Structure 1
Amino acid sequence: MSKFKIIPIVLVAFLSFIHVTIAQEDAIHKKINADMYGKFSKAFKTLDYDLFASIHSKEMIRISGNGGEIKKAGTYLKGYQKRWSAPSQKPAPIDFRLFERVYSDSLVSDRGIYRVTYIDDNNQTKYSYGQFHVVLKMEDQSWKILIDYDSDENKTITKDNYDAAFSISEYKKYWKH
């Protein structure tokens, strides 16, 4: 076979490999985002404690930079169960944007900014912002929160920080590979 016949075959094989690799990367990032951010946001919007609890590893450690506390999963989750079961509790939608993701086959490290939306008693919309770092672990075919750290950095995290981070769907901008 001449080299002129081999070159197109190699080129087609290479392009096929690249296409499959890109599709696999896209699927991985979509699964991480659905398992973590999709479910987290839905739980906040619907006050669904069971959904919220389901995205946390039983080994999870929660670190509150502002509160100076470290809690294990049970204690942290009981706080949400109590808060969300109060009849006066209103949903507070939460949105996420990322500026960094590093992942392996079993762990993910994401850093970003979140925004919680509140409606006060005067029907005014208020926002709260914070910076977070989560480490996710693959458990039972789903990404679960293993370590969760957040802080508003003494109220210095703002809409500008949120806007400067990337939409979770834009993984090519925040993924470090």
Structure 2
Amino acid sequence: FIKELLTATQLMIKNPGHFTNEDVFMRAFLPAINQEKTKMEPLFEKFYREEFPKLKGQLQNTILASRIVAKAVEKGYKIVLATNPLFPQLAIQHRMEWAGVKNYPWELVTSYENFYSAKPNIAYFQEIADKIGLEPQECLMVGNDVQEDMVASEIGMGTFLVTDYLIDRQVPKYQVQNEGTLLELEDYIANLPSLE
């Protein structure tokens, strides 16, 4: 089961863009475990409604995340929750709630139901820009993963590497335009020009 799950997840990461990540996952995973979508879908939903929320204690909550998002909204910026779309919307909604950022006016929340690519594929970042009607150069990717988030610089997105909870596998290396702690990110956002 775990092997099949990991294989299907890898296929989502390598998704060439013809199907949603959910479709790619289901087309690989369900036949590998000899199950039908109609049987498994209610089990997945039950897991994400009842079991997944038990992971809440594993996430470090910080009020800073909410303050940073609030500042960006105040200044009139479109906000996107650009999490790796390998999970269903339900799981991501739980994570947003745990982080205290669920109730903001998100322009887009990436999930496996609505995305055709995944990190670190640069097509993922282009897909975001296209869906929100901006050029990559008009976007800022904020993240703590050097390889999965900073790759956005390859298509011209600005980047801010959050050094709290830093993930760095050393290779490949990408251009980092700005970096700092969450507190420094809060100051950075506060100093951006207002769009309103």
TM-score band, normalised by the shorter chain? Answer: under 0.3
Name the structure with the higher helix share: 2
TM-score normalised by length of structure 1: 0.24
Greater gyration radius: 1
Name the structure with the higher strand share: 1
TM-score normalised by length of structure 2: 0.23
